[in-house]
Amino acid sequence: MLDSLHIKRLAAEAGFDLCGIARCKPFPQNEMHFRRWLGQGYHSSLEYLTRNLDKRFDPARLVEGARTAVVCAVGYKNRASEGYPTSCRTKIASYALTTDYHTTIRRMLRGMLDSLRGRYPGLGGRAFVDTAPLLEKQLAVEAGLGWIGRQSLLVTPALGSFVLLGELLLTDEADSYDSPLEGEGCGSCRRCIDACPNGALVAPRTLDTGRCIACHTIEREPEAKVDLHGWLFGCDECQSCCPYNRRAPRHANREFDPLFDPEAMSPEEWASLDERQFEERFGSTPLTRSGLERIRRNIRLTPDDAAQRRE
């Protein structure tokens, strides 16, 4: 049986700020709501969300015999998380200013898993970092880390929503499991909904990705064009306004120190970069997901351009 306190010590030593432990189980209610969301077409161009639905809502379908989910979170809040001037035309989501979190968190989790296997021979398990159809936000809720806010993101009491998640699915039982939080939540606040520039939050915890700036700047682009409001990669508008995020401390783990300052680069500087320069300066960051040419195109998509495309 897994020692839950030992697991949480390993998580802290690895550099995580939060760690909770939940039982692996199916989530039929989440599946029902997700299928309804898909049926309304709110996934727009994100066709990958329609695949592997049989696995998405049952962790044991991803790791055979999975009994325990270890959910870890690390804060990444930095100066850019607090918002950009309205006139800024080179905005980048604050998580993307650092080394790609997939690389960093995967290394942290694998270190934990290696330690656990050393202590528990025969332990089966797998690490996950936002690349498999795992219901990680709901698992985080089950593990007592926070709740799903109106902007559809996990909100934690201490660190707000500026957290990145990683999970271990393990085949052994733990000696104790955490419970969902009580007495925390968004209350009557709806600042995130009101702050979304394009009205992508069509209802509490309901995102229309076809209107979402992050989708338009990173994912496969939806057919309808939208005003990007100066965002080149991602968008933090629904997070920077959150009261929990405003009082949250900046990141403690130095692995998540920003590597550059978007405000220090003008649109002209971005446009003048060649592929070699882009790779040298930003090759370790998430910006490579969209690439230089798409970032250049996002710079050219001014509010007037977007309005003309919609007409």
At 187-240, the pLDDT tens digits run: 999 999 999 999 999 999 999 999 999 999 999 887 778 999 999 999 999 999
Query: What is the secondary structure of 5-19 as a DSSP string?
Result: HHHHHHHHHHT-SEE
Per-residue pLDDT, averaged over 109-135, amounts to 96
Count of Cβ atoms closer than 10 Å to residue 297 Cβ: 15
Question: Could you give phi then psi for residue 15, rounded to 5 degrees?
Answer: 110, 5
Q: Summarize pLDDT for 144-184 with one digit per residue, the tens.
A: 999 999 999 999 999 999 999 999 999 999 999 999 999 88
Cross-strand pairs, 23: 68
From 3, 58, 130, 172, the catalytic residue: 130
SS3 sequence of the chain: CECHHHHHHHHHHHCCCEEEEEECCCCHHHHHHHHHHHHCCCCCCCHHHHCCHHHHCCHHHCCCCCCEEEEEEEECCCHHHHCCCCCCCCEECHHHHCCCHHHHHHHHHHHHHHHHHHHCCCCCEEEECCCCCCCHHHHHHHCCCCEECCCCCEEECCCECCEEEEEEEECCCECCCCCCCCCCCCCCCCHHHHHCCCCCEEECCEECCCCCHHHHHHCCCCCCCCCCCCEEECCCHHHHCCHHHHHCCCCCCHHHCCCCCHHHCCHHHHHHCCHHHHHHHHCCCHHHHCCHHHHHHHHHCCHHHHHHHHC
- Tokens standing for 13? 């030593």
- Enter the tokens of residue 47: 């066709």
Least confident of 15-24, 261-270, 299-308: 299-308
pLDDT tops 70 at residue 248: yes
Of the candidates 138, 123, 256, the residue with the CA atom closest to the CA atom of residue 205: 138
Token output for 9: 């010590």
Residue 46 pLDDT greater than 80, yes or no: yes
Q: Which helix (H) or strand (E) holds 155?
A: strand 154-155
Give the C-alpha separation, 70 to 140, whole Å.
9
For residue range 75-87, list pLDDT tens digits in order. Answer: 999 999 999 998 9
For the chain, give the percent of residues with pLDDT over 90. 91
pTM over the 0.85 mark: yes
pLDDT at 288 over 60: yes
Q: Contact 162/77 with Cβ under 8 angstroms?
A: yes
Can 130 be counted among the known catalytic residues? yes
The Cα-based distances of 106 to 1, 113, 159, 168, 225 in angstroms read: 24, 10, 21, 10, 34
Contacting residues for 131 by C-beta, under 8 A, at least 6 apart: 102
Q: Does residue 300 have a pLDDT over 90? A: no
Task: Say if residues 232 and 58 touch (Cβ distance below 8 Å).
Answer: no
DSSP code, position 272: H
